[in-house]
Chains A and B, each alone.
Chain A
Amino acid sequence: MVLRRRLMMVLLCLALVSLGSAMAAETEIRIGVYEPMTGAMAAGGQQTMEGIELAHEQRAKVLGLPVRVILVDNRSDKVEAATAVTRLIQKDKVCAIIGSYGSGLSMSGGPVAQAAKVPVMGCSPTNPLVTLGNDYYFRACFIDPFQGRVMAQFAFDKLGARKAAIIQDIAQDYAVGLANFFKQAFVELTGDPKSVVAFTSYQTGDRDYTAQLTYVANAKPDVVFAPGYYADAAVLVTQARSLGLKMPFLGGDTFEAPEFIEIGGKNVEGVYFSTHYSADAPVTPASEKFVALYKAKFKTAPNTFAALGYDCYNLVLDAIERAGSSDPKAIRDAMAKTKGFVGATGIITLDSNGDATKSAVVLVVKDGQFKLVDVVHPR
């Protein structure tokens, strides 16, 4: 009897809650965000969220309704990422989603959003497979075939490298993709299929890389390309230096986190990596505005992921405005037609896959700071 009464209470509560959300549907626009706020990619997710919050503060209304941003932490975990998207769609009934740092996480959330027909705007997932075959997934960044080529070209032209070694994080779609695109481009540039003299792997969260590094050192490469996430990469480079490896280490956009320098200290000095944007090289009037706003709020210079988060929020609002409704299908169609959008990270036009074609910047760690070295435009 008591049990039945309790059950009734629970059902009543549930009914009230769902009634509440049904009523709320007409009074606000809900945008979901799934980003890694904890785990191996937390720095990237938190930085992205800073940008989204900043953009939300600047523009909190669309179609005359207030915008509510609902954040779900995907914990840097592929299973959690799919659950997070399900939750945003089914429980929070969002009309569009932003996310996620980490290509693997986006590839896990993507099919869920596609099946539910809710559009997603990715800030920084760079693996080509994120949007390929998914007409509900878009992104504000370039993709890895380009990023891999940028770093291969940089190693070949600027560092004069003729032999490269690769150490990839085999647990991450991002790193595996990028490693292969780098390899392709480097082999093409040198014209020598044996120019990648060592190719090995580790897994996210591994802490001992000495065996891999000993193997790499033995192959005597001119550079080492080590795509993976910032904490792992910082520990890896630190161990490389203590094992006496002196050649330059290169990576991709995931190196851009304050933790990379904090953990690596002077060991990561001279590490080069490609990324989406640098506050030192503003590309549009929107970049300057964004840098000023960010500095006023966070008292420090913004990074790539905050800039991409800022752009993604504005891209989603732009699509909602052009769609003239909060219907996910209409928003998707408007999003697909994004053209000449002036963002902080560049002018964004989405191609038929839903990818942006943008410039990359190459940064180096110098005196404990990320310094701009080069800007590479797509061909």
Chain B
Amino acid sequence: MTVEIFLQNVANGITLGSLYALLAIGYTMVYGILRLINFAHGEIFMISTYFAFYGTAIFALPWQVSFALAIVLTALLGVVIERAAYRPLRDAPRISALISAIGVSFLMANLGLVIFGGRPKTFYRPPIFQTPIELGGIRVVALFFVIPLLTAVLLVALNYIVYRTKTGLAMRAAQWDFDTARLMGVDVDRAISITFAIGSALAAVGGIMWGLRFAEINPNMGLFPGLKCFIAAVFGGIGNISGAVLGGFILGFGEIMLVAFLPGLAGYRDAFAFVVLILILLVRPTGLLGDKQRVKV
């Protein structure tokens, strides 16, 4: 393997890793506050791409408007899902909410099949993102810079919201204990709604980037990215935002390097992701950046 090829693979890894990272943040945020694995996250991601698709393809909106609208609509969708499927179960055993999340995931994937149709659609890709750029023998498109940059900006913005604002304080209070937070005058329901709005908006950003990168969308597309980004979130320490980003990058890099160094084993790429998950959980049950399990008193 020459240096050039290795660097090309690093570039490939950065692009894939930052896509995983974007999705993993949404998982980790919801888990951090509700201790709920939102299995519907992958489907929210899928539906966001259809919002953007219909905006450009059916309503002929300029792509900037369509993408912005898709992010807002997806955030609303996240809030609605939380109201309808998770809030009524907030005092039920945690397993009930988990089952509800799996139910929502299946419901949305199947609704997607009925409403959007089973055949894949072509996502509109503004040519500006596809401008080829060559850097010392490494070939990338403009999108290569956009995705990691966006991930970095969102990571900083999120850390600001969570650690520097009143809303973030409410979210962190809710994370500790709903009842105590309520006694302190925190509107827990509002904090949770905002968490879902932000998490879903991030899924939408991830979805749009996914569409821009791969051009194809279909109603089943949420399943595998959803699972992998869940792995990335667990890997980095679920509940920890920086951990999710780290986990996403490691997973993306790992997959690319597995194929790059062992092309004969390329078919085992998904298996690799799951093996890594098992190993990490054996060695560090709370993930790379995860805290020690806190016990609620």
Please tell me if B120 contacts chain A, counting CB pairs below 8 Å.
yes
Would you call A231 and B263 a contact (CB within 8 A)? no
What are 30 A-B residue pairs whose CB atoms fall within 8 Å in the complex?
A39-B220, A40-B218, A42-B117, A170-B266, A170-B267, A199-B263, A200-B259, A200-B266, A201-B266, A201-B267, A202-B267, A203-B270, A205-B221, A207-B210, A207-B213, A208-B15, A208-B255, A208-B256, A210-B12, A210-B16, A211-B258, A211-B259, A214-B12, A215-B260, A215-B263, A234-B216, A242-B141, A243-B8, A263-B215, A263-B216
- Taken together as a complex, chains A and B put the C-alpha atoms of A235 and B120 apart, in Å, by 12
Task: Tell me if B's interface is mostly helix, strand, loop or mixed.
Answer: helix
- Taken together as a complex, chains A and B put the C-alpha atoms of A170 and B265 apart, in Å, by 10
Most buried by A among B117, B257, B263, B270: B263
Most buried by B among A37, A40, A263, A265: A263
- Taken together as a complex, chains A and B put the C-alpha atoms of A262 and B255 apart, in Å, by 28
Assign chain B's interface to a size class. 35 or more
- Taken together as a complex, chains A and B put the C-alpha atoms of A49 and B264 apart, in Å, by 37
Would you call A43 and B119 a contact (CB within 8 A)? yes
Would you call B266 and A212 a contact (CB within 8 A)? yes
**Which residue of the partner chain, among B130, B219, B256, contacts A242 with CB atoms under 8 Å?**
B130
- Taken together as a complex, chains A and B put the C-alpha atoms of A208 and B216 apart, in Å, by 12
Please tell me if A38 contacts chain B, counting CB pairs below 8 Å.
yes
**Which residue of the partner chain, among B2, B5, B119, B269, contacts A42 with CB atoms under 8 Å?**
B119
A317 to chain B, nearest CB (A): 28
Would you call B9 and A211 a contact (CB within 8 A)? yes
A277 to chain B, nearest CB (A): 21
- Taken together as a complex, chains A and B put the C-alpha atoms of A218 and B1 apart, in Å, by 9
| B 155-171 binary contact with A (CB < 8 Å = 1; else 0) | 00000000000000000
Would you call A202 and B118 a contact (CB within 8 A)? no
Q: A38-B219, A235-B214, A244-B139 are in contact. Are A205 and B266 (CB under 8 A)?
A: no
- Taken together as a complex, chains A and B put the C-alpha atoms of A252 and B151 apart, in Å, by 39
- Taken together as a complex, chains A and B put the C-alpha atoms of A210 and B1 apart, in Å, by 15
Please tell me if A46 contacts chain B, counting CB pairs below 8 Å.
yes
Residue of A nearest to B141 (CB): A242
A213 to chain B, nearest CB (A): 9
B231 to chain A, nearest CB (A): 15
Would you call B263 and A212 a contact (CB within 8 A)? yes
Would you call A208 and B113 a contact (CB within 8 A)? no
Please tell me if A180 contacts chain B, counting CB pairs below 8 Å.
no
- Taken together as a complex, chains A and B put the C-alpha atoms of A43 and B118 apart, in Å, by 8
| B 124-142 binary contact with A (CB < 8 Å = 1; else 0) | 0000001010100001010
- Taken together as a complex, chains A and B put the C-alpha atoms of A214 and B140 apart, in Å, by 12
**Which residue of the partner chain, among B15, B258, B267, contacts A210 with CB atoms under 8 Å?**
B15
Would you call B216 and A214 a contact (CB within 8 A)? no
14 additional contacts (CB under 8 A) given A214-B8, A231-B216, A244-B132: A42-B119, A199-B263, A200-B259, A200-B266, A201-B267, A212-B259, A212-B263, A214-B12, A214-B260, A218-B2, A218-B5, A235-B214, A242-B130, A242-B132
Would you call A198 and B12 a contact (CB within 8 A)? no
| B 254-297 binary contact with A (CB < 8 Å = 1; else 0) | 01111110011011011000000000000000000000000000
- Taken together as a complex, chains A and B put the C-alpha atoms of A231 and B130 apart, in Å, by 19
- Taken together as a complex, chains A and B put the C-alpha atoms of A61 and B220 apart, in Å, by 38
Contacts of A39 in B (CB 8 A): 118, 220
Would you call A259 and B120 a contact (CB within 8 A)? yes
Please tell me if B180 contacts chain A, counting CB pairs below 8 Å.
no
Q: Which residues between 194 and 248 of chain B lie within 8 Å of chain A, taking CB atoms?
A: 210, 213-216, 218-221, 224
- Taken together as a complex, chains A and B put the C-alpha atoms of A231 and B215 apart, in Å, by 10
Please tell me if B96 contacts chain A, counting CB pairs below 8 Å.
no
Contacts of A218 in B (CB 8 A): 1-2, 5
Would you call B256 and A210 a contact (CB within 8 A)? yes
Please tell me if B64 contacts chain A, counting CB pairs below 8 Å.
no
Would you call B5 and A211 a contact (CB within 8 A)? no
Contacts of B224 in A (CB 8 A): 205
- Taken together as a complex, chains A and B put the C-alpha atoms of A244 and B219 apart, in Å, by 30
Contacts of A262 in B (CB 8 A): 122
Residue of B nearest to A170 (CB): B267
Residue of A nearest to B214 (CB): A207
Contacts of B257 in A (CB 8 A): 211
Please tell me if A238 contacts chain B, counting CB pairs below 8 Å.
yes
Please tell me if A206 contacts chain B, counting CB pairs below 8 Å.
yes
Q: Which residues between 43 and 76 of chain A lie within 8 Å of chain B, taking CB atoms?
A: 43, 46
Contacts of B258 in A (CB 8 A): 211
Residue of B nearest to A238 (CB): B215
Q: A38-B113, A234-B216, A263-B216 are in contact. Are A214 and B9 (CB under 8 A)?
A: yes
Contacts of A198 in B (CB 8 A): 263
Contacts of A200 in B (CB 8 A): 259, 263-264, 266
- Taken together as a complex, chains A and B put the C-alpha atoms of A130 and B1 apart, in Å, by 40
**Which residue of the partner chain, among B12, B117, B220, contacts A208 with CB atoms under 8 Å?**
B12
